[in-house]
Structure 1
Amino acid sequence: MRPSNDPLIVIGAGQSGLAAARAALTAGLRPIVLHAGAEPVGSWPDYYDSLTLFSPARYSSLPGLPFGGDPDRYPHRDEVVAYLRRCARVLDAEIRNRTRVVAVHGRADGGYLVRTDTGDEIPAAGVIAATGSFGRPHLPSLPGQADYAGDLRHVAHYRRPQAYAGRRVVVVGAGNSAVQVAYELAMHARTTLATREPVRFLPQRIRGRDLHHWLHVTGADRLPRSAVTRLIRHAAVLDTGRYRDALASGALPRQEMFTAFTPDGVRWRDGTTEKVDAVIFATGYRPDLDYLSPLGVDRNAPRQVGGVSTTHAGLAYLGLEFQRSFASNTLRGVGRDAAHVMNAVVAQLRGESSRPAARPPDAGR
């Protein structure tokens, strides 16, 4: 890729986009950040009301700006929103809010043309796709689902338990969000956690220190996916003991995943049916990358190594799950990934490298 006076475009202004913009400024670039939302805080305002970080404040900062306050507390969702606002205020970068990117096209000279819903067409030397995955919740399809007349939603669209008071609710999933939401719902509604396998737990504290202390001092937070999956073969819920106790005592009942929907409920594995008012799927997310389809990018598994595209020079990703490590799509890890991908992209933009990242034969996408 030849040197260009066109800007580097960062798509998304959540934690990944802000980390990317800072890394670009550090590298001597002047990025333009395009963000679909009303302010540069990503999707955090849209998470459920009770959400708190799984990591203490001391391990939850982006580069250049400590979280502040008690370093051992677990910041609430609204604290994260306020923190990202501060990050954006001190960032000397152009951020255009309410500007959704609808398509990215390649140009004959090797650069890109970024089209937005405001009608702009912005020439770009390079593109950082930092839109994460919250905008694309994954909702499985089960038999009878289309005929179910109850309240069916993904946890991305759940806010608070009071709206379900006195109702019969099933929460689907065995991860952190599923267990947390089911636990708080159980205090207001007749709630069951539906999972394919028993819920597994990781202790929140070990020898009096938060788990993230040990991940930090041992370097486990930086391990690649292949190493982590050898150590932890199943999803696990961080727990101080309250969730495990709730499941063990029956305060939060668990059943094997139902096999189908009925018009007014679900059919359990043993063949019995039950009327259910609401089903909430906490079944994860997929990369939100539809705007890259003109480039032929696989939106489910973009071809990349460590976040650097193996198919397009000057294109990189931030916020993908396990992009480089266990912490890649978190506040505590995305800054490291941003520095890594920016080094590669800057080299391409400055003509020091004309090729996308080399792709080893056994590299994961």
Structure 2
Amino acid sequence: MEHIDFAVIGGGQSGLATAHALLRRGLRPVVLEASDHAAGSWPHYYDSLTLFSPARYNSLPGMPFPGADRDRYPHRDEVVTYLTAYADRLDAEIRTGCRVTAVRRTGDGFTAELEGGRLSARAVVAASGTFGRPHRPALPGLQEFTGQVLHAADYRSPAPFSGRRVVVVRAGNSAVQIAAELAETAHVTLATRGPVKFAAQRILGRDLHFWTVRTGLDTAPLGRFLARPPAQPVLDDGRYRAALAAGRPDRRALFTGAVGPKLLWPDGQREEVDAIVLATGYRPDLPYLAPLHGTLDDEGTPRHREGLATAVPGLAFVGLEWQRSLSSNSLRGVGRDADRVARRLAAHLARR
């Protein structure tokens, strides 16, 4: 069996940032990426996805996000190109097509079981993100609904929905972006539990991220104090608020049930709907950690303190939402968390 020092599970932004942080300390990580491409989930997001933060705030450590216009909002494919270039420049061993199926404790270290083999590691960083585990909440009537149901993870473009009746569930950034795009060619409702909350994209001529960075909110260690992370408002330059005001899409309170292809609305109306798009977010995708007793709670959420597993020394996480701060699971913030985790893991191994 092969023996390594650091196994980094996941080759997206979190895994790449972690590898960079370990390399800076003279350590040699091995990045294990399940897909055939070191860009994480980005290639699989919907075609029109546009970041809500300017290019200047979307860099991983050691390599600025490219382009002359630092205030533009990059598209999905720009991020894929950037992460691919970052991986190519990184002096780390990145093994693609290498899916980890289980991690087990072995003495003072770990054994990672792969599809087709095993390896041992002194420390493990779980940086596999959330895209592989779309959250599908138990909405009223969803199981009885006979129309098409898909998660935003499966949505690519509005073309297949042209002229159809579509309901998009939730009031987050992706939900509003997808609903507004669909409404250009389809009859779309944004179904939410409450009103859509907006935040201005620009304040006093500056993007909102300028202010969160300048005030320190972006990096404030708030994660440890949040039993449940707050819902973030939709960042808007005015276009989405205007679209909702014009009824393209319209907004309604969440449906109360379903009968076959018809949804039941709170006002008693029954309406035939072709498709429901669940823009209901994701959960940490960490099934391979199940053999490590005490690492995950009953919902599969990791037990950690600022990225370090509380029950298993030598195990850490990078890229969790609100792992430490508002920006923990973003391009602009994951490097800070990765550096902190790498420093503490290196100290842990030095004591052994």
TM-score (norm 1): 0.91
Report what 1:188 is aligned to: 185
Is this contact kept in 2: 1:200–1:234, CA < 8 A? no
* Structure 1 letter corresponding to 2:49: L
Could you give the per-residue CA deviations for residues 30-84 of structure 1, whole angstroms, max 9, x where no partner exists? Answer: 1110001111000101000000111111110000000111211111100000000
CA deviation after TM superposition for structure 1 residue 90, in Å = 0.6
Q: Distance in 2 between matches of 1:220 and 1:206?
A: 15
Could you give the per-residue CA deviations for residues 268-308 of structure 1, whole angstroms, max 9, x where no partner exists? Answer: 11222110000001111100000000002216321111101
Report what 2:172 is aligned to: 175
Report what 1:323 is aligned to: 323
Mark the CA change 1:342 to 1:148 in structure 2 (over 3 Å): closer, same or farther: same
Residue-pair matches, total:
345
Is this contact kept in 2: 1:151–1:279, CA < 8 A? yes
Q: Distance in 2 between matches of 1:38 and 1:163?
A: 27
| Structure 1 residue 164 corresponds to structure 2 residue 161 | yes
| Structure 1 residue 78 corresponds to structure 2 residue 77 | yes
Is this contact kept in 2: 1:38–1:98, CA < 8 A? yes
Q: Distance in 2 between matches of 1:249 and 1:148?
A: 28
| Structure 1 residue 239 corresponds to structure 2 residue 259 | no
| Structure 1 residue 40 corresponds to structure 2 residue 34 | no
Q: How does 1:42-57 map to 2 (within 5 A)?
A: 42-57=40-55
Aligned-partner SS, 1:115: strand
Query: Which runs of 5 or more structure 2 residues have no equivalent in the other structure?
Result: none
CA deviation after TM superposition for structure 1 residue 334, in Å = 0.1
Mark the CA change 1:233 to 1:90 in structure 2 (over 3 Å): closer, same or farther: closer
Could you give the per-residue CA deviations for residues 100-124 of structure 1, whole angstroms, max 9, x where no partner exists? Answer: 10000001x210000111x211000
TM-score (norm 2): 0.95
Q: Moved runs in structure 1, 4+ residues, more than 3 A?
A: 224-229
Q: Identity percentage over the alignment?
A: 55
Could you give the per-residue CA deviations for residues 124-151 of structure 1, whole angstroms, max 9, x where no partner exists? Answer: 0000000011110000123432332211
Q: Distance in 2 between matches of 1:183 and 1:292?
A: 38
CA deviation after TM superposition for structure 1 residue 265, in Å = 2.5
Report what 1:295 is aligned to: 292
| Structure 1 residue 263 corresponds to structure 2 residue 267 | no
| Structure 1 residue 20 corresponds to structure 2 residue 36 | no
Q: Distance in 2 between matches of 1:227 and 1:113?
A: 29
CA deviation after TM superposition for structure 1 residue 10, in Å = 0.2
Q: Distance in 1 between matches of 2:224 and 2:142?
A: 37
Q: Distance in 2 between matches of 1:228 and 1:186?
A: 39
Aligned-partner SS, 1:345: helix
Q: Distance in 2 between matches of 1:289 and 1:92?
A: 26
Could you give the per-residue CA deviations for residues 171-191 of structure 1, whole angstroms, max 9, x where no partner exists? Answer: 000100000000000001000
Q: Distance in 1 between matches of 2:225 and 2:212?
A: 11
Report what 2:130 is aligned to: 133
Report what 2:120 is aligned to: 123
Aligned-partner SS, 1:350: helix
